[in-house]
Copies of this chain bind each other. A is one copy, B any other.
Amino acid sequence: MIEPKTLKGFRDYLPEVMIPRERMMEVARNVYRQYGFVPIDTPALEYLEILTGKGSDETERQLYRFEDHGGRQVGMRFDLTVPLARFVAQHHAQLGLPFKRYHIAPVWRGEAPQAGRYREFVQCDFDTIGTESVAADIETALVMHDLIVAVGVTEFKIHINHRQVLTGLLEKLGLLDASVPVLRALDKLAKTSVEAVSAEMQQAAGLTAAQAAEVLTLASVKGSNAEILQQLATIVAGNARGEAGLKRLSDMVAGLAAAGVPESRFELDVSIARGLDYYTGVVFETYLDALPGIGSICSGGRYDNLAGMYTKQHLPGIGASLGLDRLLAALEKLGKLPASKTTVPILVAFFDPDRLNDYLKISRTIREAGFGCELYPEPKKLGAQLKYADQKGFRIAVIAGSQELERGVVQLKDLQRKISSDVAWGNDPSELLRGLANMLQLNEGNLVV
């Protein structure tokens, strides 16, 4: 006998976890599609050189790699960005540009196990490749916005910054060469004091106290988006790079307003930088008002050139990624993730073995009306079936013994309100269907999202 267990660092998704997870992926797909993003898929396995080309040491160490049956060095993808780069480099002539794709798929990293982190996880990415237009930047923010609204959260903020505003300021101050340690220090502004950040800039980046103070004027940039734009204009004035970045931010603020997004949902925020090597333009992070501590649940930004490793074709783009696990955890904390082990609201009980064909007909009638239902798979005492219904979270049981069927009725039992009523059942299904519709409506507050 072999002990049944999941591989260390991996996990099974049981139905009560997989049901909301799958719905969340559907919500994401639907929002992506509404904007004209199209799905692609790429293999789980790639040639090792494709994966390690640009990888950091960290990435390389975490990579699942091996030799395949043909002696090829292969690896399991560790993100969806490297495969996207390879994909667009390989197919751009056929795809046409601009190209907008979404990709929802698992990736694998042999990380050291941590609480809540697994070696297999799903990424939900969307990107617009082959354009530098601000329209793509704005629509990326709109998709992020619509995603969060679509899962039922209304109180959140998309933080927006532009890499060139920061770089422009540093250039203006003659500090471009020190930008990596300066920005690394600046990134800590949200978590520590201005004094500590200033000290780090002086120590790690060799700035004078006056230079650090100049950079830290950024920390005082506050107010409405319009006010922030005004303060930044003064800060970057005279620097072409900074002014260009600021113009993008200003266009974005106007565009998001034109598209009807409430001002309360997005906020210019000079403190976010996000992986400065990769992003070159606008950057995004998204925080839930009720749970700022869990971190950004949807992040992304603009990059200069997606696939320089694989093609000479210049491929600028912008994209973002929904943090599926983090968002699910947040919804659970917010009580917005109803626990259910079933995808349908109705259980048809099966307790008279001779009446199976009646139950099949009842089930069929219910399904054809567009309600899903489960027919309990085998004849059993009613008590056991109702216990099963309770455990799984069904809302209604349809109960019919021989006596009921002979009288031409079936019983509908509202499992939450513990109320039963008989409805006529024979050649005309309308009373049954009306009865179900009424019961479902009465407890629709408990509907699974």
The interface of chain A, by Cβ under 8 A from chain B, is 1-8, 10-15, 18-19, 21-22, 26, 29, 33-47, 49-50, 53, 62, 64-70, 72, 74, 76, 85-87, 89-91, 94-96, 98, 100-101, 106, 108, 110, 120, 128, 131-136, 138-139, 142, 146, 251, 254-255, 258-260, 307, 309-312, 341-344, 347, 350, 356-361, 363-364, 367, 372-379, 388, 391-392
Distance of A12 from chain B, by nearest CB (Å): 5
- Residue of B47, B87, B108 touching A7 (CB-CB under 8 A): B47
Distance of A24 from chain B, by nearest CB (Å): 12
Identical copies in the complex: 2
Is the beta-carbon distance between A110 and B68 smaller than 8 angstroms? Answer: yes
Is the beta-carbon distance between B377 and A50 smaller than 8 angstroms? Answer: no
Distance of A57 from chain B, by nearest CB (Å): 14
Is the beta-carbon distance between B5 and A47 smaller than 8 angstroms? Answer: yes
Closest to A99 in B: B15
Is the beta-carbon distance between A138 and B360 smaller than 8 angstroms? Answer: yes
Given the known interface contacts A4-B310, A307-B4, the answer about A133 and B258 at a Cβ–Cβ threshold of 8 Å is no
Q: A120 contacts which chain B residues (CB < 8 A)? A: 43-45
A363 to B34, CA, bound (A): 10
Is the beta-carbon distance between A258 and B373 smaller than 8 angstroms? Answer: no
A272 to B284, CA, bound (A): 58
Is the beta-carbon distance between A39 and B66 smaller than 8 angstroms? Answer: no
Q: Given A10-B45, A98-B377, A136-B377, 10 more contacts at CB 8 Å?
A: A14-B95, A34-B372, A38-B343, A44-B76, A45-B64, A68-B110, A96-B392, A135-B378, A139-B377, A258-B356
Is the beta-carbon distance between B350 and A135 smaller than 8 angstroms? Answer: yes
Interface of A is mostly: mixed
Distance of A390 from chain B, by nearest CB (Å): 11
Is the beta-carbon distance between A343 and B260 smaller than 8 angstroms? Answer: no
Closest to A122 in B: B41
A269 to B377, CA, bound (A): 25
Is the beta-carbon distance between B91 and A12 smaller than 8 angstroms? Answer: yes
Is the beta-carbon distance between A356 and B307 smaller than 8 angstroms? Answer: no
A69 to B38, CA, bound (A): 35
- Residue of B96, B132, B378, B392 touching A136 (CB-CB under 8 A): B378
Is the beta-carbon distance between B260 and A364 smaller than 8 angstroms? Answer: yes
Ordered nearest first, which 4 A-B pairs have the shortest CB separation? A36-B374, A66-B66, A133-B378, A258-B357
Is the beta-carbon distance between B36 and A373 smaller than 8 angstroms? Answer: yes
